[in-house]
Amino acid sequence: MKHSILIFTFLIISLPGYSQTTTGQEDRRYWIEVLSQVADPLLTHMSKGELRKNMSVETISGAPNPSNARTTHLEALGRLFVGMAPWLELGPDKTPEGQLRKKYIRLMIESINQGFDPKSPDYLNFTVTRQPLVDAAFFCQGLLRSPKQIWGHLPSRTKENVLNALQEICKIEPVESNWLLFSATVEATLLELTGECNMQPIDYAIMRFKEWYKGDGWYGDGPNLHMDYYNSFVIHPMLLDVLEVMQKHNKGESGFYEQELQRFSRYAEQQERMISPDGSYPVLGRSIAYRFGTFHVLSQAALNDLLPNSVTKAQVRCGLTAVIKKHMSVNGNFDEHGWLTLGFAGHQPQIAEKYISTGSLYLCSVVFTALGLPPTDEFWIAPYTEWTGKKVWNGNPDVKLDKAIKQ
């Protein structure tokens, strides 16, 4: 009898469209487990000044001392920080999760101390090649997202070291592409932290992205449209963050800010529809090795209450959980020491561009941006809900028509 029940259960689970649903609390624990798996090797070693000594550096070239090694450590810190910062900003409390945040806040602060101390063995590169501009900008986004728990708790000497490093970064000339937003983000962060900045890179980036808008929530990366996920990796998140700082300091154009809010929301709506019933999604364009970091905009839209009316927070939680699980179901995402490997689903070095190294891969962390929503938020307490891709393939009659925006 028990044997028959087990066979019946297996057959039901194997049916197309069947899924084992989870609660929001279970999803949150799972997200934190995966984020911890990504973060632990990096922060554990860097907090002790041992990142350069112990971090594996893999590139498509396979060279023992790749040129990327000069910049990969800043990449790793900045990219992990930007995704982790909203969760850290919730601060410590007496719950097990709050105590875990307390641990990671300490490790992040100690890692920043090491990375920005010129006397540390893990002192980061801020001047050699143009690449430091990119990852200093991601680091700056992390500071903007954790003003109390990270910037507010850095020692005064470390704050001085950070500001000195950002002044060096400002000397790097950006490329005419999404790179303009890296310069703008650094300057906007200096404005937020010090009350002063050079407005020229900010004004220029905003002017260009007004020109490069292609419609229906999509910007070109430069004058041309690229079918990839850079609107999510960089363009929308940094453009919105810069515009919000400008609004706060009465230096921005409210009209373009309102337009960007609408465009951001529309792009998030499209991202939710990209998630297939099984958590897979189209593998398109550059930098696909950033894995589930692809969904930066959708996660940030949930955090910032920018989801469109057609998408509920529960849809986003359940869809993103399916995406994370889909990636994590494949072996080979981490090497034997816990470092991320080149690949999209597992270890696939051939999909990596020449500019990608181990440190680059930590942009996957931005999928966890919505962890900045407290456990009591609707995002985590609403019951399991099918996302659009799952609803439509299950024949749900309540799926709404998708419409482009005009602005």
pLDDT at 16: 41
Q: Is the dihedral of CA 217, 303, 105, 28 positive or negative?
A: negative
End-to-end CA, the chain: 63
pTM of this prediction?
0.94
**Nearest by Cα to 187 from 120, 155, 240, 140:** 140
Does residue 209 form part of some domain?
Answer: yes
CA distance 360 to 192: 26
Tokens representing 38 are 């990504």
Asked whether the beta carbons of 365 and 222 are under 8 A apart, the reply is no
Cα distances (Å, whole numbers) of residue 352 to 211, 282, 355, 356:
30, 16, 8, 6
Residue type, 343: G
| DSSP letter string, 13-46 | HHSTT------HHHHHHHHHHHHHHHHHHHHHHH
For residue 374, give the amino acid letter: P
Contacts 24+ apart (CB under 8 A), 194-200: 194/163, 198/170, 199/251
Report yes or no: 129 and 68 within 8 Å, Cβ to Cβ: no
The residue count for the chain: 407
Fill in the DSSP letter of residue 297: H
CATH number at residue 252: 1.50.10
pLDDT tens track, the chain, 407 positions = 444 444 433 343 444 434 579 999 999 999 999 999 999 999 999 999 999 999 999 999 777 777 888 999 999 999 999 999 999 999 999 999 999 999 999 999 999 999 999 999 999 999 999 999 999 999 999 999 999 999 999 999 999 999 999 999 999 999 999 999 999 999 999 999 999 999 999 999 999 999 999 999 999 999 999 999 999 999 999 999 999 999 999 998 899 999 999 999 999 999 999 999 999 999 999 999 999 999 999 999 999 999 999 999 999 999 999 999 999 999 999 999 999 999 999 999 999 999 999 999 999 999 999 999 999 999 999 999 999 999 999 999 999 899 999 98
Q: Three-class SS of residue 283?
A: coil
Please give the single-letter amino acid code of residue 286.
R
Number of domains in the chain: 1
Q: Is 399 part of any domain?
A: no
Which helix (H) or strand (E) is 81 found in, with range?
A: helix 72-88
Q: What is the pLDDT of residue 5?
A: 40
- Give domain status of residue 326, yes or no: yes
Rounded-to-integer distance, Cα 285 and Cα 221, Å = 12
Supply 300's token pair: 């940030």
Is the residue at 317 inside a domain? yes
User: Which residues span the domain enclosing 73?
Assistant: 21-393
The answer as to whether 386 is a domain residue is yes
Res 345: pLDDT: 98
Q: What is the predicted pLDDT for the residue at 33?
A: 98
The residues, ordered by sequence, that sit 6+ positions from 131 with a Cβ below 8 Å of its Cβ are: 70, 71, 74, 75, 355
Q: Does 1 fall in a domain?
A: no
How far apart are alpha carbons 293 and 48 in whole angstroms?
27
Give Cα separations from 391 to 57, 399, 403 (angstroms).
Answer: 41, 7, 17
Give dist(CA 355, CA 341) in Å, integer: 14
Asked if residue 84 lies in contact with residue 39, where contact means CB atoms within 8 angstroms, the answer is yes
- Bridge partners of 215, per DSSP, are 218
Judge whether 14 lies within some domain. Answer: no
d(CA 162, CA 270): 37
Closest of 57, 86, 91, 59 to residue 74, by C-alpha? 57
Is residue 112 within 8 A of residue 161, CB to CB? The reply is no
In a domain, 41, yes or no: yes
Contact of 55 with 73, CB cutoff 8 Å: yes
